[in-house]
């Protein structure tokens, strides 16, 4: 049985995979040369907003505020219009606004370093409301956290996939000679796991880079030197046992990378001391280390960060405000750090989340919240982004922004769960194409991409 | 909780040492276990290897588990384990779904995190008599996943864990039934509240894909069946998923004991008005007639799943992977499937028969061939097995050595990639299909081995061997190791290497590794507590080695 790498990736991506396929794929992988990384430096930084961020209160119509307020004001969930941060997406011709707690990144929109991708979500194929009502194929387990998280991170909506799309991009490039993985994960998630490649997993700041992968318990004594010498030798023997050798390799890689991470680069940009701030600060340090301190720098890197707490069934106003403040401040600090490192045009940061939330609130007063929904709006930030505009696929209303109407043309039912017009595949492929993945390989990594047009949403320069 | 065998069996220590002196002197250098005639007692190393498969690790060198398995024989040991008193988990008081604002600190820790259950898991594993039940129940947890990542109250998780313990040696059909109606599972995979007008596919999909038959038609030996074009044959399609989704409609949690306090103790109950009573075509074309009750549909559907020929190879192979080896031969899988299909008395799904077949299979007990076969490569110990193996070899105690460990070990397990009872998804802590990098072998546990966790393993060994887990707010007693039982070996580097080869590695240390251990032990300078310092050096080298962490 022979499989091309593409066949193999498609099968593995779909979770449709035999033992023979695994065996032949991995054997082949050991033999083929990894695809050379492209020229220059580029990095993708994924920020996952775990729990399902309410995009309806993140990007809000300003000109069309009345329609928004009509549904959300009575419950007190609406954000007051005079507190909003207006933005003018060039192609829509009307004003929108950001949540007031996103003031840190608000200027990036006007400076064309921030784009909004509208009503994007898992899809198998383009899906109109009529299609949806008539039972056309739709992603498995809509509105379920675990399944929708998986679909955003794997870009596979037909069934389970063990590998994420960040990891599959890294698979394409293979293991680099330095042994330093292309993907670094600051948090757990399928996004970073490839079929063949595993991410480097490290702790967030303030742990120093030179303290990330450290072996404890050795002093500079003769006995400890002898013990370390024995330990190092034991790691090189009995390699006729393949599982033993594979486990030895992981420890060896950890020690090698730990040793190579010999310095803790200084980032002058001040990061907020928050969960996401500390993750992104570590990313900035790893980028600086790769560019200035590494003996074998990578020309492509992918990072994965995650912040939880967005599942705002109750108390949404306060909870989301705090979280969006954390997100905005951390993203702005990270953007500033890329400017400091002179890689602002080489680093693109983007958000993902389980799903958006119902436009119709649940509850009222202080405990008002929202339930699980579907299509969402996401931020893409960086010097290479065609910022200052909204992107996506136009829906029934002729724009990329959904019609905020309960039971309206974009609603699955009557609670305001927007049927996405743009798919995760299109969103991800646009980023991957900028990263340097060829069109052919895009269709390998994103097997559903061929169902959508255009394949590139155009928000990257 | 059982008293630590250590305390009960101190008197045996002298005898043990005499016995061991004989063993070890007879087995200097590398040795290989070999199958023995049934009438001959198994060797010490065979016994220890068998205990690596069937317990959380032999209890030191004066442990009753070792003697029982060695003297009574493996089959008799299994019978004893089948009947050992169950450690399990207490039913915890239900708390409100939304944490009361005044429930903070220890109230929050004990009622809204897995803290108590995780500690209980580790103390059960360290000290419980029902070692095999715990091993099997934890394997079943990794197959029939409910995760505390979503089920955040320990009072909601405990009944789920009790089902796994209670049914670990029961029948798989009963296990499927109890798991299906468990409210935590009902929440986790969305069967609770599933209605005829809005059926949810989640449970229907996972019970087929993960809990019973898998995605593809299997031969009894676990290899995939292929169609005339050489393609794998799916076990189900969307129509079957839809039919099972409709089967699982109409169920919800039993009456709440108080407003805001959902009932996660009692099994879910049917509401016939919300049950889809249309006919349903299930696996293998079996059709359920219309107008059946929710309970009848459920039982018929579980029978339909349970009778599927895929269950034996799909579940049996995974249990082999958890207990013995990541890459069992097709013949091994076929023998276990046969035990699942018929326990010898015409009963299908008897997990005792399956466990017996797995642990007593010639492939589990066979000599380790050179070069290794895929099956004899064994499996990487996952973090929990790795931790417990090390701890149980050296009499785990409280930090000050005066009492028992409190079992506060989950932070260490989490650092190694396994947050007990909180796997990231229904796909568990790692996938049975994970490949071993650079090989054509499977190695599920490699799914949680990465640069960060590999060093966390070594640093855990350093903490335990050279220090301890100190008393803290969450660790009322802490955890430490006691090397006193091994002092006799430490009189010479060679004796120590050989003794620990037997008791830590069941005799699989190679001559080259033995030489490394001896050299490092010989470099330990003379002085007070020389023996303990030698044991620390040797135990560190062995426990940090891949040769130790891959059990074969």
pLDDT along chain A (461 residues), means of 10: 34 31 31 55 97 97 97 94 97 96 98 98 97 88 83 90 90 78 90 85 91 95 98 98 95 91 95 97 97 90 94 88 98 98 98 96 80 95 98 97 97 95 98 96 95 98 86
d(CA A260, CA B76): 54
* Residue among B425, B439, B458 minimizing CB distance to A242: B439
Can you tell me the distance from the alpha carbon of A249 to that of B549, in angstroms, rounded to the nearest whole number? Answer: 13
- Residue A134 CB partners (closer than 8 Å, separation 6+): none
Put simply, whether B466 touches A (Cβ < 8 Å) is yes
Contact residues, A window 354-413, toward B, CB-based 8 Å cutoff: none
Confidence band of B23 (pLDDT split at 50, 70, 90): very low
So what's the pLDDT on residue A189?
Answer: 84
Q: Which residues of A touch B466 (CB under 8 A)?
A: 217
Partner A, chain B 71-110, Cβ-Cβ below 8 Å: 98
Residues 180-209 of A with CB under 8 A from B: 181, 188-190, 195-196, 198-203
Residue A235: its chain B contacts at CB < 8 A?
Answer: 545-546
pLDDT of residue B39: 53
Which segments of chain A belong to CATH 3.40.720?
A: 33-206+263-451
The sign one gets for the Cα dihedral B315, B318, B322, B328 is positive
Nearest CB partner across the interface for A237, out of B450, B462, B512: B512
> Which of B209, B377, B446 is nearest residue A241 as measured by Cβ atoms?
B377
Using the Cβ of A223 and the Cβ atoms of chain B, whether some distance falls under 8 Å is answered with yes
pTM: 0.82
Chain B residues within 8 A of A13 when measuring between CB atoms: none
Q: What is the per-residue pLDDT across B418-450, written as a single tens digit (0 to 9) for each?
A: 999 999 888 899 988 887 877 889 999 998 998
Which A positions 302-321 lie with beta carbon below 8 A of chain B? Answer: 314
CA distance A420 to A276: 27
Q: What is the pLDDT of residue B62?
A: 66
Using CB atoms, pick whichever of B216, B462, B550 lies closest to residue A243: B550
pLDDT at position A35 is: 54
Q: Tell me B421's DSSP state.
A: T
Can you name the residues that pair with A45 across neighbouring β-strands?
A303, A349
Nearest-CA neighbor of B454 among A304, A245, A213, A99?
Answer: A213
| pLDDT value of position B536 | 98
**What is the DSSP annotation of B223-243?**
PBPB-TTS-B-BS--HHHHHH
CATH architecture of A33-206+263-451: 3-Layer(aba) Sandwich (3.40)
Please tell me whether residue B321 adopts helix, strand or coil conformation.
Answer: helix
Residue numbers in B near A225 (CB within 8 A): 523
For residue B342, the tally of other CB atoms under 10 A from its CB is 15
3-state secondary structure chain A: CCCCHHHHHHHHHHCCCCHHHHHHHHHHHHHCCCCCCCCCCEEEEEEEECCCCCHHHCEEECCCHHHHHHHHCCCCCCCCHHHCEEECCCCCCCCEEECHHHCCCHHHHHCCCEEEEEEEECCCCCCCHHHHHCCCCCCCCCCCHHHHHHHHHHCCCCCCCCCCHHHHHHHHHCCCCCCCCCEEECCCCHHHCCCCCCCEECCCCCCCHHHCCCCCCCCCCHHHHHHHHHHHHHCCCCCCCHHHHHHHHHHHHHHHHHHHCCCCCCCCCCCCCCHHHHHHHHHHHHHHHHHHHCCCCCCEEEEEEEECCCCCCCCHHHHHHHHHHHHHHHHHHHHHHHHHCCCCCCEEEEEEECCCECCCCECCHHHCECCECCCEEEEEECCCECCCCEECCCCCCCCCCCCCCCCCCCECCCCCCECCCEEHHHHHHHHHHHHCCCHHHHHHHCCCHHHCCCCCCCCEC
Q: B104-156: per-residue pLDDT in tens? A: 999 999 999 999 999 999 999 999 999 999 999 999 999 999 999 889 999 99
Instruction: Pick A253's closest partner by Cβ from B431, B451, B510.
Output: B451
Tell me the average pLDDT across B153-174. 98
Q: According to the 3-state scheme, what is the secondary structure of B30-96?
A: CCCCCCCCCCCCCCHHHHHHHHHHHCCCCCCCCCHHHHHHHHHCHHHHHHHHHHCCCCCCCCCCCCC
For residue B392, the Cα-to-chain-centroid distance in whole angstroms is 15
pLDDT at B26: 35
Can the peptide bond before residue B341 be classed as cis, meaning omega within 30 degrees of 0?
A: no
- Statement: residue B159 has pLDDT above 80: yes
Answer with the residue of higher pLDDT: B68 or B250: B250
CA distances from A187 to A151, A184, A303, B19, B303 (A): 17, 9, 10, 50, 41
Q: pLDDT per residue over B317-333, tens digit each?
A: 999 999 999 999 999 99
């Amino acid at each position: 049985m022979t499989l091309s790498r593409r066949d193999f990736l498609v099968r593995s991506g779909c979770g449709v995979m035999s033992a023979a396929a695994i065996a032949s794929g991995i054997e082949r992988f050991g033999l083929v040369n990894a695809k050379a990384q492209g020229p220059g430096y580029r990095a993708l930084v994924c920020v996952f907003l775990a729990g399902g961020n309410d995009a309806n209160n993140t990007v809000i119509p300003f000109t069309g505020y009345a329609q928004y307020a009509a549904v959300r004001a009575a419950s007190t969930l609406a954000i007051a219009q005079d507190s909003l941060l207006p933005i003018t997406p060039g192609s829509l011709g009307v004003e929108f606004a950001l949540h007031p707690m996103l003031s840190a990144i608000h200027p990036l929109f006007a400076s064309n370093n921030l784009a909004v991708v509208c009503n994007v979500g898992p899809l198998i194929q383009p899906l109109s409301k009529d299609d949806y009502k008539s039972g056309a194929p739709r992603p498995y387990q809509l509105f379920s956290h675990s399944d929708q998280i998986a679909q955003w991170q794997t870009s596979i909506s037909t069934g389970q996939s063990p590998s994420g799309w960040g990891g599959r991009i890294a698979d394409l490039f293979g293991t680099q000679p330095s042994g330093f993985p292309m993907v670094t994960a600051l948090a757990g998630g399928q996004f970073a796991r490839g079929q063949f490649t595993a991410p480097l997993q490290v702790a967030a700041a303030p742990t120093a880079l030179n303290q990330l992968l450290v072996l404890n318990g050795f002093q500079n004594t003769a006995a400890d030197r002898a013990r370390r010498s024995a330990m190092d030798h034991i790691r090189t023997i009995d390699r006729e046992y393949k599982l033993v050798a594979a486990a030895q390799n992981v420890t060896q890689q950890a020690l090698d990378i730990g040793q190579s991470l010999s310095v803790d680069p200084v980032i002058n940009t001040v990061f907020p001391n928050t969960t996401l701030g500390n993750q992104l600060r570590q990313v900035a340090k790893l980028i600086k280390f790769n560019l200035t301190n590494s003996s074998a720098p990578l020309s492509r890197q992918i990072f994965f960060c995650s912040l939880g707490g967005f599942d705002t069934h109750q108390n949404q106003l306060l909870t989301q405000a705090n979280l969006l403040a954390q997100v905005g401040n951390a993203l702005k600090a990270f953007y500033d750090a890329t400017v400091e490192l002179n890689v602002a045009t080489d680093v693109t940061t983007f958000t993902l989340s389980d799903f958006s939330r119902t436009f119709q609130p649940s509850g009222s007063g202080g405990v008002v919240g929202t339930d699980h929904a579907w299509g969402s709006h996401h931020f893409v930030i960086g010097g290479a982004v065609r910022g200052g505009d909204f992107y996506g696929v136009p829906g029934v209303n002729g724009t990329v922004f959904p019609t905020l109407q309960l039971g309206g043309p974009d609603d699955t039912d009557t609670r305001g769960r927007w049927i996405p017009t743009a798919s995760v595949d299109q969103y991800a492929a646009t980023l991957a194409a900028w990263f340097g993945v060829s069109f052919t390989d895009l269709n390998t990594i994103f097997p559903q991409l061929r169902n959508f047009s255009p394949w590139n949403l155009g928000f990257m320069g | 909780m059982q008293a630590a065998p250590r305390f009960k069996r101190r008197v045996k220590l002298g005898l043990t040492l005499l016995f061991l002196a004989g063993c070890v002197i007879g087995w200097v250098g590398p040795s290989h276990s070999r199958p023995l005639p049934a009438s001959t007692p198994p060797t010490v190393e065979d016994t220890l290897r068998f205990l690596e498969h069937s317990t959380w690790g032999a209890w030191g060198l004066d442990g009753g588990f070792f003697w029982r398995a060695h003297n009574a024989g493996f089959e008799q040991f299994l019978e004893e384990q089948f009947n050992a008193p169950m450690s399990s988990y207490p039913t915890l008081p239900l708390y409100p779904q939304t944490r009361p604002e005044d429930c903070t600190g220890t109230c929050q820790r004990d009622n809204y995190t897995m803290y108590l259950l995780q500690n209980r898991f580790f103390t059960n594993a360290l000290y419980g008599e029902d070692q095999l039940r715990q091993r099997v129940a934890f394997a079943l947890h990794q197959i029939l996943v409910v995760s505390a990542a979503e089920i955040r109250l320990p009072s909601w998780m405990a009944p789920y864990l009790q089902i796994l313990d209670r049914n670990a040696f029961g029948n798989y059909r009963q296990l499927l039934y109890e798991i299906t109606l468990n409210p935590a599972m009902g929440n986790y995979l969305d069967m609770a509240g599933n209605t005829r007008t809005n059926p949810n596919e989640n449970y229907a999909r996972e019970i087929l894909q993960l809990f019973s038959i898998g995605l593809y038609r299997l031969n009894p030996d676990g290899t995939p069946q292929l169609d005339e074009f050489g393609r794998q044959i799916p076990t189900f399609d969307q129509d079957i998923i839809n039919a099972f989704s409709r089967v699982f409609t109409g169920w919800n949690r039993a009456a709440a004991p108080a407003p805001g306090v959902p009932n996660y103790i009692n099994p879910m109950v049917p509401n016939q008005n919300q049950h889809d009573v249309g006919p349903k075509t299930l696996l293998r074309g079996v059709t359920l007639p219309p107008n059946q009750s929710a309970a009848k549909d459920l039982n018929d559907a579980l029978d339909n799943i349970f009778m599927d020929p895929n269950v034996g190879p799909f579940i049996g192979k995974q249990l082999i992977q958890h207990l013995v080896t990541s890459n069992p031969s097709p013949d091994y899988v076929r023998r276990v499937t046969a035990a699942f299909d018929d326990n010898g008395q015409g009963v299908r799904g008897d997990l005792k028969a399956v466990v017996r077949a797995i642990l007593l299979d010639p492939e589990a007990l066979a000599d380790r061939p050179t070069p290794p076969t895929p099956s004899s490569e064994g499996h990487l110990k996952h973090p929990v097995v790795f931790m417990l193996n090390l701890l149980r070899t050296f009499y785990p105690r409280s930090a000050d050595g005066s009492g028992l460990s409190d079992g506060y070990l989950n932070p260490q397990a989490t650092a190694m990639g396994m947050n007990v009872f909180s796997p990231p998804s229904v796909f568990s802590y790692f996938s049975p299909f994970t490949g071993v990098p650079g090989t054509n072998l499977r190695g599920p546990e490699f799914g949680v081995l990465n640069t960060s966790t590999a060093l966390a393993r070594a640093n855990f060994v350093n903490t335990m061997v050279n220090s301890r887990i100190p008393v803290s707010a969450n660790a009322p007693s802490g955890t430490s190791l006691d090397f006193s039982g091994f002092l006799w070996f430490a009189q010479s580097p060679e004796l120590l290497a050989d003794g620990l080869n037997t008791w830590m590695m069941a005799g699989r240390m190679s001559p080259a590794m033995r030489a490394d251990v001896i050299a490092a032990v010989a470099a330990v300078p003379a002085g007070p507590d020389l023996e303990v310092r030698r044991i620390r050096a040797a135990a560190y080298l062995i426990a940090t080695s891949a040769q130790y962490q891959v059990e074969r």
